[in-house]
Amino acid sequence: MLRLSANLTLLYPDLPLGKRFDMAKAVLCLSVEIQFPYDTPITELHDAMARTGLPIVLINIPAADLLQGGDGLACVPARQQEWAGAVEQALRWAQALKVPTVNLLAGRQPAGLSRETCLQTLVDNARHASSKLAEHGIRVVCEAINHHDMPGYLLPTSHDLAELLARVNHPNLGMQLDLYHMARMGEDIASVLTQQAAHIGHLQFADVPGRGAPGTGSLDFPALFRLIAQLPYHGWCGAEYRRQADDPGWMSNCLPGT
């Protein structure tokens, strides 16, 4: 049985955060993830966790202006001081909320800089974050984001992500693989999952092309979920899709053993 986490940022964007926890519990998810929880008081998150019994298993390291079309932090040489502060903030929140894993967003390649310059900055920053958080027992993952949804993102494919891990060469850095982003880049998802199984630190999923729930697009989720269940990966699978209805019927149609 896959261990499902509900991505509260995408699933229920119009609800108060506390209500999102309730919705996640109602659809039988066993944990939640929040992209950027930093505007919500820690006490409020603690209350929601205590009320529902759902832990927060993943947050993102702050990424500055990335989601607003900017370059972000992690691959930008001129923003390394900001990056260090972002890592410290993520550490404080992860410790306070007992979050086991934080996600590093590579950012966009700034105009006028070579890819190699940005990649080396990312390598240095990822190594710093991996070392810093390892001291506190917190895992770091990094994800590839397709260049259709985020043009200019430095790591658009799982191959790019694998190259980063090889260059960083730190045992506390793993892959966050998102089936949606891989599909948008035309990757062979089953092959990537099989080949990179030992490096997976977190999984996420949504259907393509609309980033909806499984069954709303073209991906063969029953086959993919069966494969994931057979991998030597026992972490969380994050439902990071845009909800179009309250019915979680895809679970009975797509999940093995349901």
Cβ contact 7:240 at 8 Å = yes
Specify whether 143 is catalytic: yes
Question: Which entry of 33, 163, 187, 240 is annotated as an active-site residue?
Answer: 240
Identify the burial level of 40 via C-beta atoms within 10 angstroms of its C-beta, where 0-12 means exposed, 13-18 middle and 19 or more buried.
middle
Check 33, 44, 82, 143 and give the catalytic one.
143
Q: How far apart are CA 64 and CA 84, in angstroms?
A: 12
What residues are annotated to the active site? 143, 240
